[in-house]
Structure 1
Amino acid sequence: MDRQLVVGLELGGAPPDVAGLAALGRRAEAAGLGFVTLADATAGPGTARLDPVAAAAFLSAHTEAIGLVPMVHTAHAEPFHVSNQLSSLDLGSRGRAGWLVGTEATPARAAAHAVRHVGDPRTLAAEAADVVDAARRLWDSWQDDAIVADETTGRFLDADRVHHVDFESRTFGIRGPALLPRPPQGQVPVVAPEGVLPAELVDVEIVRGDGLRTGAPRVVAEIEIGQAGAGAAAELVDALTRLVGVVDGVRLLPTDVDRDLALLAAEVLPALPLRRPAPGETLRDLFALPRPAGRYAS
């Protein structure tokens, strides 16, 4: 276990205005945070808010090194769309994308996908595994060297290096390769709460508290930042220090994003042995996850 800690912060409750979001992203990166997650957040009446993937794409243009991990739900999802969204984010961010898997299913979400029934927990769990599995297969459907781009012959693509994915589940079917080349990271890292997915589909598993070592390659503890008060920073430093060498990182859930980020930058992060992101590194590099070989490569 590394004696450094990768620290992330949830920004899903950030202000809906893009200027405020950009400022938070820059502050988070300057403070030494390794990644930010962007879960769904409900906007007030008459207030527009970027969806998590769009927010992450926006942040990629205003940051250089920090990992960007938006939540994408699997309930009623189309793996083609999910894989394309995250491949595009990985390309635009130069390998800093991750996928925070969400499995919430509500009547409103079902209606938005023209689905009549929300689904029972067992069906939703199976669907989550199928969507992630299919997306991973689609990312591998283009070999890394599929694009030839030979000007002398006018040949752009080697069709023998693009593979069809035939995948059938209870809720969707896939025939054919992805629409985009393989992402820069090969596979966008899948980040999921403990127990949501089979371990072989997860790169980084989120556990509550210090948790236990799971079957996932990397483990991140989820910690809520309490109300500000005397000794709050010292208590948080103590809690996070105890996690060094126990887990690979932490995901902090703020009470107030602006206030808590200021506290982290000034009093908490400087006291920790941080694994900081560096320009040119990928999210996989940050977590010391190897870039996987494509499953269809000869």
Structure 2
Amino acid sequence: MNVHPFIEAEKCAGHSVKRACELLKVSRAAFYARRFDILSKRRRQDAELTERNSLVHAGSRGAYGAPRVHAALRQTGTLCGRRRVARLMRETGLTGRCRRPRVRTTVPDPRAAHRPDLLDRDFAPSTGLNTRWCGDITYIATAEGWLYLATVIDIASRKVVGWATADHLRTSLVTQALTTACQTRKPKPGLVFHSDRGCQYTSRELAAVAASKSVRLSVGRTGVCWDNALAESFFATLKRELVAADGPMWSSRAAARVAIFEYVEGWYNVRRLHSSLGYRSPTDYETALAA
């Protein structure tokens, strides 16, 4: 029987180690030798885990906090507790990136025709790929001026299935993103494309493009970011992980486009772990559905 935990408990409670050893018929020298071995082994394990934490954190461009670092380690067969990972990351100064304050960019058109909200805030992952998409516009600072980014995301898998950039906010920006998504995914008629009530998304031009592709348009309420929460969340993630990693702005719009391409196509869609997908990437999630 291993009596060392009982002696350790007595020691932590402030009782005499000598007396506990005498009662359990264990020498104090053996107890302290065993205790030293356990602590040394723990320190070695902590050092190894700290190194693995650093590798995973660096591989995520410094974006992952303890939950995703822990999930990534578990996927590679490293057995460890989430709290232990968090403790070691704190001790070594490794942190994930926090969200920046949100800036409102939606400009509604008071003359736009009424469109329904077909989602009602249901952004849960599902097996229904290419049945519900959402989109939005954000802006990225460059030395040449703003670069505007429009995205289309498959709600079922969180995958960015279409995106476009431009130096303007005209409706052609969002129609290009939607057209690209339709060409890439080839959805069946009846797909729902959800957005906010920005003038680009309530325009006749987008309605015509959507009708030509048998896409049903859906919009949330004005000024209520939760009605398009998934699209808002993606932009918060992009700005937290990409913009913070490469600095406040790029030297040109072309450089920013390259950085966005590498982030979306080389990291976010294929490698980044999503907690809502069971800590899988969108591509891995879709592959699992197809299996």
Shared fold, TM over 0.5:
no
Bigger helix fraction: 2
Normalising by structure 1, we get a TM-score of 0.20
Normalising by structure 2, we get a TM-score of 0.20
Bigger strand fraction: 1
Query: Larger Cα Rg: Structure 1 or Structure 2?
Result: 2
